[in-house]
Chains A and B, each alone.
Chain A
Amino acid sequence: MFKSVREQLGKRSDMIVLVNGVETPAWDGETVASVLLRVPGAGRRSPVSGTPRLPYCQMGVCFECLAIVDGIASTQGCLVPVRPGMRIESQRGPREISR
């Protein structure tokens, strides 16, 4: 859905992050929410109906970008910049709490 300007200019990505276990190129300055928009099927699923959702506001007020980031569920993806090796997992439905 979105693509980096620099990728269009043929530049190499700045880092690799893991999206649901898959190595994914990422760009300096982008947020977890931005990655969710670039990787098909990476968005969350509503805990109410299970319908798919993607980040909507990018400014911390819609909570559509919730994801599991480095093991921490319900992280607001739009507020977290990517870091090399970051593990991003889709939050599908109501989150689980570990035993």
Chain B
Amino acid sequence: MDADVIVVGGAVVGAALAYGCAKQGQEVIVLDGHDQDMRAARANFGLVWVQGKGSNAPAYHQLSRQSADLWPGFLRELTETIGMQVDYSRPGGMIYCLSEAEYETREALNKRTHNYVPRNDTRMVDRRELERMMPAVGFGPEVVGASYCEADGHVNPLQLLAALQRGIVAAGGKMLFRNTVESIEPGPRGFTVKAALGTYAAPRVVVAAGLATPALTDPIGFKIPLRSERGQLLVTERLQPFLPYPGSGLRQTADGTVMIGATKEDATDRGVTVASATTLALRATRIIPALASAQLVRQWSGFRVMPPDGCPIYAESAAHPGLFAAACHSGVTLAAVHAAIVAPAMLEGRLSTDLAAFSNGRFDVQKCA
């Protein structure tokens, strides 16, 4: 055996799980893919977000909330070990409403979510209150108000990924880059993982390869249904700090740049389009007209990893115990629970009890029928 656990995929989901496993004293090898592979953390908007998440899926909502609450401690511990700074803050977050209709829809959604949250920290703020909260911002005439949730925050997702990868190494794990996994073969005493640079064996394998996950798990009868959704994002030049709260689709980073995102598209190529830039720029300048003078520095696209119902999948193969899969589109928000809850649950065989709502079995049509 080469390790206790092999994690397939070294991006933000795989790295958080590997970091969690390594901190449990496990010997961990992370097999990462090609440079050009998708890494959600490199395309990510950077919200550590609660409001609106899983508005029809209480377990997902609660998991997001639990993660957001664990985040400050998770990050402190991670950054203290490696001596690296990660920009993170949790001032609460806004979802802006550009019409009475948007405002009412959002209010109704908040009420629905209130039914299953332990404390009510999300409320609608009207335009006057919004202006009081953000005196340096001139809002556009269409802005009616916003939904404000105290539990929301934001982080630099690029620093997070770099920190997690260093954290794995600091905890005794190995990051093996440019080592794309080709196949996983179950054997009597564990798994053999064939990758570009070698073959590795371990009693446990966690597949967190994003959209490439099904291609590795399906051939051994472990079905992980996923679809991809392209999102395009914009970032501006550095501006003086003026926007104290992160918002859905609009936030100012610690560096001063303003991020604007993200579209939801069916496209499968990694291109960017002027049409999408126009849509994004239009909405941002409707919220804050002065942003019209800010210069765009970069536009990029990434793919959301989407399970059919939008909720995360944490699953162990029934046929091959010890083989796990983790797939979700909110790897940044969920990084804290991935490290602190999901990884230990995998190691201790508690996935089916503690995180049953996230099993892949929920997509099994025959079982549901």
A94 and B138 alpha carbons, distance in the complex (Å): 19
Residues in B whose Cβ lies below 8 Å from that of A94: 237-240, 256
A96 and B294 alpha carbons, distance in the complex (Å): 9
Beyond A73-B293, A74-B295, A98-B290, whether A93 also contacts B240 by CB under 8 A is yes
Q: Are B239 and A99 in contact (CB under 8 A)?
A: no
Q: Are A74 and B291 in contact (CB under 8 A)?
A: no
Q: Are B291 and A97 in contact (CB under 8 A)?
A: yes
**Most chain B C-beta atoms within 10 Å of own C-beta, residue among A48, A73, A97:** A97
> Is B137 at the interface (CB under 8 A from chain A)?
yes
1/0 contact string of A77-99 vs chain B (CB within 8 Å): 00000000000000001111111
Closest chain-A Cβ to B234's Cβ sits at a distance in Å of 15
A56 and B136 alpha carbons, distance in the complex (Å): 34
8 Å CB contact of B237 from A74, A98, A99? A74
Interface size class of B (residues with CB under 8 A): 10 to 19
A49 and B296 alpha carbons, distance in the complex (Å): 21
Instruction: Knowing that A48-B238, A95-B240, A97-B239 touch, tell me 5 more A-B residue pairs with CB under 8 angstroms.
Output: A95-B237, A96-B239, A97-B290, A99-B136, A99-B138
Beyond A47-B256, A74-B295, whether A99 also contacts B240 by CB under 8 A is no
Residues in B whose Cβ lies below 8 Å from that of A48: 238
1/0 contact string of A47-89 vs chain B (CB within 8 Å): 1100000000000000000000000111000000000000000
B residues lining the A interface (CB < 8 Å) = 136-138, 237-240, 242, 256, 290-291, 293-295
A74 and B239 alpha carbons, distance in the complex (Å): 11
Q: Are A72 and B293 in contact (CB under 8 A)?
A: yes
A93 and B256 alpha carbons, distance in the complex (Å): 11
How many chain-A residues does the 8 Å CB contact rule pick out?
A: 12
Enumerate the 4 nearest inter-chain pairs by beta-carbon distance, A residue then B residue, closest first: A99-B138, A94-B238, A47-B238, A97-B290
Residues in B whose Cβ lies below 8 Å from that of A47: 237-238, 256
Beta-carbon nearest neighbor of B236 in chain A: A97
Residues in A whose Cβ lies below 8 Å from that of B136: 99
Beyond A47-B238, A74-B237, A93-B240, whether A98 also contacts B137 by CB under 8 A is no
Beta-carbon nearest neighbor of B138 in chain A: A99
Residues in A whose Cβ lies below 8 Å from that of B237: 47, 74, 94-95
Beta-carbon nearest neighbor of B288 in chain A: A97
Q: Are B293 and A97 in contact (CB under 8 A)?
A: yes
Residues in A whose Cβ lies below 8 Å from that of B256: 47, 94
Residues in A whose Cβ lies below 8 Å from that of B294: 97
Residues in A whose Cβ lies below 8 Å from that of B242: 96-97
Residues in B whose Cβ lies below 8 Å from that of A98: 138, 290, 293
Q: Can you report 16 residue pairs joining A to B where beta carbons are below 8 Å apart?
A: A47-B256, A48-B238, A74-B295, A93-B240, A94-B238, A94-B239, A95-B237, A95-B238, A96-B240, A96-B242, A97-B240, A97-B290, A97-B291, A97-B294, A98-B290, A99-B138
Q: Are A99 and B295 in contact (CB under 8 A)?
A: no
Residues in B whose Cβ lies below 8 Å from that of A74: 237, 295
Beta-carbon nearest neighbor of A71 in chain B: B293
Q: Are B293 and A99 in contact (CB under 8 A)?
A: no
Residues in B whose Cβ lies below 8 Å from that of A95: 237-240
Beta-carbon nearest neighbor of B135 in chain A: A99
A95 and B242 alpha carbons, distance in the complex (Å): 11
Residues in B whose Cβ lies below 8 Å from that of A72: 293
Beta-carbon nearest neighbor of B256 in chain A: A94
